[in-house]
Amino acid sequence: MLPEFLVENMRQTIAEGMNNHYTMFSGHPLLREKISKHFAKIVGRESLDPNSEVLVTNGAIGAIYSTIMNLVQAGDEVLMFEPYYTQYVNHIEFAGARIVTAPMFQNDDCEWQFDFDVFQ
């Protein structure tokens, strides 16, 4: 059984109307505003524009896809450290780029390192 305060909070949230359907594709305006205020302090700026400097995505994969599609062009090479999530391969190839991998390994102190020789 859920705690009563949680059930009541859900009732109120659903009743507000804006919270019971899909949001705008760019994210809820209040969410973007709060994010811009929070990160402005972190990056040392007075403010960030929530409409042009904040991107809300559907999770990390959405963010990675958006980043790749905006930074990678056909014919580019993208360096990926192994191991990696195989879904990244689809995004990079869809952008028309070629993947170059650098195998990573753990040394005797269990620290991650990668083999620089692949770039020679």
Residue 78 lies in a domain: yes
Supply the pTM of this predicted model. 0.61
* Domain contains 79: yes
87-to-17, 60, 94 alpha-carbon distances in Å: 36, 12, 11
**Residue 116 within any structural domain of the chain:** yes
The Cα–Cα gap between 92 and 74 comes to 9
- Structural domain contains residue 101: yes
Q: Total structural domains in the chain?
A: 1
Which range of residues forms the domain containing residue 116? 73-120
Around 82, how many Cα atoms within 13 Å sit in the side-chain half-sphere? 10
Categorize the per-residue pLDDT at 59 as very low, low, confident or very high, splitting at 50, 70 and 90.
confident
Residue 106 pLDDT level (bands cut at 50, 70, 90) = confident
Give the pLDDT confidence of 30-43 residue by residue, as tens digits. 999 999 999 999 99
pLDDT 10s digits, 70-104 = 999 999 999 988 888 888 999 999 999 999 988 88
The alpha carbon of 103 is separated from its chain's Cα centroid by a whole number of angstroms, namely 23
